[in-house]
Amino acid sequence: MANHLHRFRHLLVGSGLALALGLACSSPDSGDGGSDGGSDSGKGSGGRSSSGTGAAGNSDDGDSGSGSGSTGSGSGGKLSGTGGASGDSSCGISSEGLGGRQEITPAFESCAESSNQAEVVPADVFILVDQSISMEDNRVNPADPSSPTRWEALTTAIKAFIESPRSEGLRVGLQYFGLTKNGAVLCDPEDYNSADVEIGELPGNAEALLDSLDAHFPSSSTPSVPALEGALRHAKAWALEHPDRPVVVVFATDGYPTECERNSIPELQAVAAEYAQGTPRIPTFVVGIGQVSNLKLVAQAGGTQKAFFVADCPTAVEDLTVMLERIASSPAICEYQLPELQEGEFLDKSKINLAYYPDKGVGGEALRQVSGEAACGDGWYFDDNARPTKVIACPETCRRLGGGTVDLVVGCETLTLK
């Protein structure tokens, strides 16, 4: 087996991160993120560092996990890692669909030279941050008055993600909600169709991102629907101008919609679905802080299948940091890199296949190639049929890639849709 075929041995983690990895302390299916007041300012100050240990817990449907903790690793903006969870069932990070796989997809058993979990093309990440009052009014460990507030936990995690060597080469931007003017909450999506810090490559964009986080402070309410719609508009415009990478929106909040004429979960779902199904596709990753688990419906509509929840518990900072490190390489992005070849190496594009393992690495399904994006129904295609650098799942296929892993299989004649 050619040595270069092993260079793309990377674990897909995702849907929000394993597309079935969930972050939580015990999170029921109902509740809210607290009440919000409003004022005219979202500015403040804060430190840039924090530390802590521990992680364990539940996914958005209440399943608990156990095992060992995990982090991402990689370089050049390509994050990868292995999933895990640690012992306490009340807090942290768990993994579904990341179990070790013992069998290759039957269609490829007799011919595969290698079958390795595919490396996702890194996404440009636009983070929409909730700066409502409840983010400051609630602590992640209610029993400990010295523990961080939800705002401190989220912003500390974003800072750690920005400053991590593993994030070098990624592109990240920020916007906040709710925004106010003359004491009134802004409800027009166009008010959020901009960036407080434009998407830019790390580490060069780090200082601007860190300064922005330090300058903001919770002081508003939760106009979630216009804010998400505006952020998605901005992300789509960015994607059209920068087609080299997929673009995702991370919607981080501790509350349900409470302001403006449109203020319901179904309206949030409709907005997320419109952009997840559009061209270019902009998926929405949901990060819920506190008891806001009904927001999982928004993640499903936004093409990422599962939301991530960090309830009020001591490991919130660590859980959020792990989540952010993984999101840029989530399989929900649906674009997978072919291995870079060294001089003299050759990869036969007529012997490339994708296999999808939907249930904890078992029950593999061979995905079939189509001639290009215009031919999409189900299946996948090369970005360039003459000189391919990546394979891209068709939208219909992409919508069902949650909860599992995708393998890049080399050596078998490519299966195609006739």
Question: 């912003």: which residue's tokens?
Answer: 155
Q: What is the pTM of this model?
A: 0.73
Task: Go through the chain and tell me how many residues it has.
Answer: 418
Q: Tokens 């810090």 identify what position?
A: 197
Helix (H) or strand (E) holding 236: helix 224-241
The pair of structure tokens assigned to 325 is 């490190």
pLDDT of residue 360: 52
68-72, 132-136, 198-202, 346-350: least confident range: 68-72
User: Residue 149 above 90 pLDDT?
Assistant: yes
Kindly report, residue by residue over 313-368, the tens digit of the pLDDT. Answer: 677 788 888 888 778 777 778 888 888 777 777 889 999 999 988 755 556 789 99
Q: Give the rounded percent of residues in the chain with a pLDDT score beyond 90.
A: 43
Q: Are strands 352-357 and 405-410 parallel, antiparallel or unpaired?
A: antiparallel
Domains and their CATH numbers in the chain: 21-98+121-333 (3.40.50.410)
Least confident of 174-178, 186-190, 337-341: 337-341
Say whether pLDDT at 198 is over 90: yes
Are 384 and 87 in contact by the 8 Å Cβ rule? The answer is no
Between residues 320 and 206, the one the model is more confident about: 206
- pLDDT confidence band for 103 (50 / 70 / 90): low
Most distant CA atoms of the chain, gap in Å: 69
Strand order, beta sheet including 119-120: 119-120, 335-337, 390-393, 380-382
* pLDDT of residue 394 exceeding 60: yes
Alpha helices of 280-332 — where are they, by DSSP H?
A: 296-301, 316-327
CA 167 – CA 380 distance, rounded (Å): 28
Which residue type is seen at 417?
L
Return d(Cα 139, Cα 317) in angstroms, integer. 11
Distance CA 29, CA 42 (A): 30
